[in-house]
Amino acid sequence: MQLAQEQIGQPAMRSPQFRANPFPFYAQLRAAAPVYQVHLSRRESIWLVTRYSDVLALLKDERFVKDRLQAMTPEQQAKQPWMPSMLKPLTRSMLTLDEPDHSRLRGLVHKAFTPRLIEELRNRVQSLCDELLDAAQRRGSMELIGDYALPLPITIIAEMLGVPTRDRAKFHQWSRALILVFSGSSQMLQGLPQIWLFMRYLRQFFKQRRVQPGDDLTTALIRAEEAGDRLSEDELLAMVMLLLIAGYETTVNLIGSGTLALLQHPAQHLLLREDPALIKTAIEELLRYTSPVDCATERFAREDVVLNGVRIARGEQVRAVLGSANRDEEQFINPDKLDLTRDPNRHLAFGQGIHYCLGAPLARLEGQIAINTLLRRMPNLRLAVAPEQLCWRRGLSLRGLEQLPVTF
Ligand code: HEM
């Protein structure tokens, strides 16, 4: 039975309070209104698709596209919020484009992210985890996000791209501004100067790499750009920004929310500590249970589409709610239970279809090493504050903690 809009209501989906526990709302939607429209602002309405089977179908359906201009009627385009021209190059990344551009861009980097090449980073990831925990032990205190979950993936992706890791605090500040601006936040104008700085920084870095090539992904991409028609300058900028941001903004949430889930489930925590070989299924379960990307990025209907009996009109925006699909009772037994031995576990935390996460092997490697090292070295790990005091990040797509103070 589909419930009417007013019977379900409209939570403030971007608020930290909602982000702390969106799952009861999603369960309500799956049961009563699996394709449901919410109004985020006067100008922005989105369809939420919450059942596992519908999310899977949506992400593979070519009638839903990334390029809003291709999908929208001229009248719809005229109503689109204004976008400063400075930001236009950033709409040229693989995540914001459809075929054939998407495959052309993804093809330039996919080899660097295959499981075999990523495996070569194992020792580096391990030594970084150890260094970060050594520093925390010397200090005697730890805020797990800022001291561990964040510096690990940001350092690794910066090293892969060849950008100086000493600048990682700047990337972090800039990438937060970028996420804010592209999430349609009312604070868009505030974020623009930061993005301008980020773009200027990367353009200068490209200039330097053209004269002084390195053994890194950016140099390989610059060569592709210089070789001719495979990559434009805007696309180079969009690619490096996407890799830098996607390379850590999600993994930080896997390590942060994953650790919190373990601290809140002592029996599961103990199980993994006593049997570290469980780490592979454990990470898959933490991905499912915490869904670091809660809502996939936007897609637009290229034509009118009927999804689970609901008509989505051409040009309207649709979001696949991965966090809901990952708790769908039709797909998972006891979906709200954390079970580190769950197998099979066909979660959708990395999405599906052509935009399936490029960095999944890297995220898995980092997550597995980070969690196992933490549990081994800090067997008495505990939350340092009451769970109600934890603050979740504002936003729609990503789900993660601002901070996680712990004692060890
Ligand atoms: C736990 C960590 C991660 C999670 C949960 C995650 C999740 C996702 C999801 C759900 C998508 C698809 C979004 C959509 O269809 O709208 C995606 C795409 C992507 N991810 Fe990840 N990701 C993670 C880590 C990484 C890492 C480490 C990288 C490394 C660079 C990365 C790079 C990308 C890229 C480039 C795309 C776009 C792929 C395309 O458009 O073809 N991700 N990720």
What does the pLDDT look like over 195-225, one tens digit per residue? 999 999 999 999 999 999 999 999 999 988 8
- Counting other chains too, the contacts that 366-369 makes at CB distance below 8 Å and 24 or more residues apart are 366/125, 366/152, 366/153, 366/156, 366/251, 366/254, 366/255, 367/251, 367/254, 367/255, 367/258, 367/283, 367/286, 367/287, 368/279, 368/280, 368/283, 369/122, 369/125, 369/126, 369/129
Closest ligand 1 atom to residue 364 Cα is: 1
Q: Which of 357, 358, 401 maximizes ligand 1 atoms within 8 Å of its Cβ, making it the mutation to test the pocket?
A: 357
Determine the distance separating the centroid of ligand 1 and the alpha carbon of 139, expressed in angstroms: 34
Closest ligand 1 atom to residue 348 Cα is: 10
- pLDDT band per the 50, 70, 90 thresholds, residue 230: confident
The closest residue, in CA terms, to atom 11 on ligand 1 is 357
Closest ligand 1 atom to residue 322 Cα is: 10
The confidence score (pLDDT) of residue 184 equals: 63
Determine the distance separating the centroid of ligand 1 and the alpha carbon of 183, expressed in angstroms: 16
- pLDDT band per the 50, 70, 90 thresholds, residue 268: very high
Using the predicted structure, report yes or no on whether residue 189 has a pLDDT greater than 80: no
Determine the distance separating the centroid of ligand 1 and the alpha carbon of 83, expressed in angstroms: 24
The confidence score (pLDDT) of residue 397 equals: 93
- pLDDT band per the 50, 70, 90 thresholds, residue 229: low
pTM, 2 dp: 0.96
- pLDDT band per the 50, 70, 90 thresholds, residue 22: very high
| pLDDT tens digits, one per residue of 303-341 | 999 999 999 999 999 999 999 999 999 999 999 999 999
Query: What mean pLDDT value characterizes the chain?
Result: 93
- Express as a percent the part of the chain with pLDDT over 90: 78
Sketch out the chain's domains with CATH numbers. Answer: 5-407 (1.10.630.10)
* Average pLDDT value for residue range 53-67: 97
- pLDDT band per the 50, 70, 90 thresholds, residue 283: very high
CB-based pocket (< 6 A), ligand 1 = 94-95, 106, 157, 242-243, 246-247, 250-251, 254, 292-293, 296-297, 322, 349-351, 355, 357-359, 362-363
| pLDDT tens digits, one per residue of 102-132 | 999 999 999 999 999 999 999 999 999 999 9
Using the predicted structure, report yes or no on whether residue 355 has a pLDDT greater than 90: yes
